[in-house]
Amino acid sequence: MPTPKPEALIEPELAERVVERALRNGGDFAEVFCEQRSGFSLAIDESRIERAQRGGERGAGVGVAAGETTYFAHVDGLAEADLERAADAAAAALDSQHSEHRPLHAGEPPALQRIEVDPASVAAERKADLLRACDERARSAGAEVDQVMASYAESRRLVTVANSEGRFASDDRTRVRLGVQAVARRNGSVETGFETLGAHRGFELVDGGAGEQIAERAARVALTLLDADPAPAGAMPVIVGGGFGGVLFHEMTGHGLEADHIQKGASVYEGKLGEQVAQPHLLAYDDGALAGEWGTDAIDDEGTPTQKTAVIEQGRITSYLYDLRSARKDDVASTGNGRRESFRHLPIPRMTNTYIAPGEATPEELIAGVDDGFYAVSFAGGQVDPTTGDFVFGTSEGYLIEGGKVTRPCRGATLIGNCLEALGRIDAVANDFEMKTGFCGKGGQRVPVGTGQGHVRISELTVGGTAVG
């Protein structure tokens, strides 16, 4: 099957006129970002299908850069008059001579992700049935499963970017995501389990039983936690689970490697390019081209093709993550990390799919090496201050490790620490690599990101729980 080619939302001639118009009062660089997005979502709660929602938007953002300043305006609609209005608003604050631009050049169209079943072509009733099946599967996991909430969401984003450096590129992005939350109850105690499945793929992702599996997993977590004790508090060795455990690396290293933080002196990784920050076995990437993954696109939101960027090799920092603006500042090429939530936002350096490459050991071997410690299977999320490097993670499923064995489940544990310290204490990575999906917020913009790793061992980290020893 030949790879489908993305269709441009506007003609190159129109794009060129808009770029030219944006530069009429001067500026070093101008771009127009056009977007058409449509989506459908549905949920089940109390075993009833609800919150059926459809939506769509079409619009454009025009940016003009002059010196250190970017002027930006966005409009609804993609008609020529709309685009002109955006160009005029962006150019309004400038009062210099007309700047030249390079003629647009549509390069080789990027390879799109393979979408086997366009979710928009699947009847809504089948999506409702998928949610009913998830509900049923989660409830059948145990009588103590008291509530199940599941949601399905699909989206398609067509984008076309043109800029004064001659770039003209388009992308066609289809994403599907399913999330299931189960609540289990016993006497006064109530626990939740949450699991998601998402990708830059079509309806085939959740079809054929894959959706029901995550429903069962969410229910099992909630049931397991019913037997949980309060988590311990204090510093101890920690094993972090594969897959969404990678959000730890995303927060404690990925954000600090985004070039805008570096250039503002707001990252603990500033000036550390080439330096040893982790043990020599550690290898990590940001890869926006990873086939079918949640954080994958053909081009970033500035038209730069996405790529695989090694950020840590042999424990040394090998690259920061750049968009066009920060790349220009450091006189390097963009790494394809210029992303934006929508046409209403300016692009900024963002992660795509960020992961620690698999190691040699098995997860069991990692755990066997811990006498007394904590096993964080997965997280509800996390947060970092890139300037200080302080981070915090809420665990959604955790266990005690006693004498090299996983023993009792623990509830309510938070992991807290400092990036550079914790990164240097990763002393082993297991071979059970897995990618998971999430949304990352930065500067008020939310974008889909992938996180991944095998099991990871950190020789010491602070666990904040309610049990005070």
Partner 1 sequence: MATPHPIDLESLAQRAVDAALSAGAGDAEAAAEDSVGREIRVFGGEVESLSAAGERGLGVRAWIDGRVGFAYGTDLSGDGVTAIAADAVEASRVSDPDEFAAAPQPSTDAAPAPDGYLDPETAAWPTDRKVELAKAVERSALAADPRVVAVETAVYVDEEVSSAIRSSTGLGGSYQASFAYAYLQAIAEHDGCKQTGLGFGLGRSPAALDPEAIEREGAERALQLLGAAKPESRTCPVVLDETVAASFAGFIGGVLCADAVQRGRSPFADRLGDEIASDVLAVADDGIDLEGMASAPIDAEGLARGRTPLIEGGRLAAYLHDSYTARRQGDGRRSTANAARSGYRSAPSVATSNLIVEPGSASLDELLAAAGDGIYVTDVAGLHSGVNPVSGQFSVGASGILIDDGALAAPATEFTIASDLVSMLSAVQAAGSEARWVPFGGSVKTPPLLIGEMAVGGS
* Contacts (CB under 8 A) with partner 1, residues 132-171: 146-147
- Report if residue 120 touches partner 1, rule: CB under 8 A: no
Q: CA-to-CA distance for 128 and 142, rounded, in angstroms?
A: 23
Choice between 323 and 432, CB closer to partner 1: 323
Choice between 188 and 274, CB closer to partner 1: 188
Choice between 262 and 298, CB closer to partner 1: 262
Query: How many beta carbons lie within 10 A of that of residue 141, not counting itself?
Result: 21
Are the beta carbons of 417 and 391 closer than 8 angstroms? Answer: yes
List the one residue out of 192, 188, 165, 167 whose CA is nearest residue 180: 192
Choice between 52 and 291, CB closer to partner 1: 52
Integer CA distances (angstroms), 84 to 35, 87, 103, 159, in order:
16, 5, 18, 18
Exactly one of 35, 154, 172, 191 binds partner 1 (CB under 8 A); that residue is 191
Minimal distance, residue 37 CB to partner 1, in Å: 10
Specify the stretch interacting with partner 1 by CB under 8 A; choose among 195-203, 230-238, 327-335, 350-358: 230-238
Are the beta carbons of 190 and 207 closer than 8 angstroms? Answer: no
- Report if residue 68 touches partner 1, rule: CB under 8 A: yes
Choice between 294 and 374, CB closer to partner 1: 374
Segment 303 to 322, residues that bind partner 1, using CB under 8 A: none
The two three-digit tokens of residue 438, written as one number = 């999430």
Q: At what angle do helices 12-22 and 80-91 cross, to 10 degrees?
A: 20
Specify the stretch interacting with partner 1 by CB under 8 A; choose among 20-28, 77-85, 97-105, 449-457: 77-85
Question: Which run of H or of E encompasses 83?
Answer: helix 80-91
Segment 412 to 431, residues that bind partner 1, using CB under 8 A: 412-414, 416-418
Give residue for tokens 């966005």.
74
Choice between 88 and 365, CB closer to partner 1: 88
Choice between 209 and 444, CB closer to partner 1: 444
The partner residues of 286 in beta bridges, in order of sequence, read 309, 354
Exactly one of 9, 14, 75, 159 binds partner 1 (CB under 8 A); that residue is 75
Segment 266 to 305, residues that bind partner 1, using CB under 8 A: 266, 268
Exactly one of 2, 67, 103, 274 binds partner 1 (CB under 8 A); that residue is 67
The two three-digit tokens of residue 377, written as one number = 């299977």
Exactly one of 106, 120, 233, 406 binds partner 1 (CB under 8 A); that residue is 233
Q: CA-to-CA distance for 401 and 369, rounded, in angstroms?
A: 10
Choice between 312 and 413, CB closer to partner 1: 413
Please spell the DSSP secondary structure of 257-278, one letter per residue: GBHHHHHTT--TTTT-TT-B-S
- Report if residue 55 touches partner 1, rule: CB under 8 A: yes
Exactly one of 269, 320, 393, 399 binds partner 1 (CB under 8 A); that residue is 393
Q: Which amino acid is at 317?
A: I
Segment 426 to 465, residues that bind partner 1, using CB under 8 A: 462-465
Site string for partner 1, 350-379 (x = CB under 8 A): -----------------------------x
Minimal distance, residue 429 CB to partner 1, in Å: 23
Strands of the sheet with 316-317, listed across from one edge: 316-317, 308-313, 284-287, 353-356, 445-453, 434-442
End-to-end Cα spacing for the chain: 62
Q: DSSP secondary-structure letter at 350?
A: -
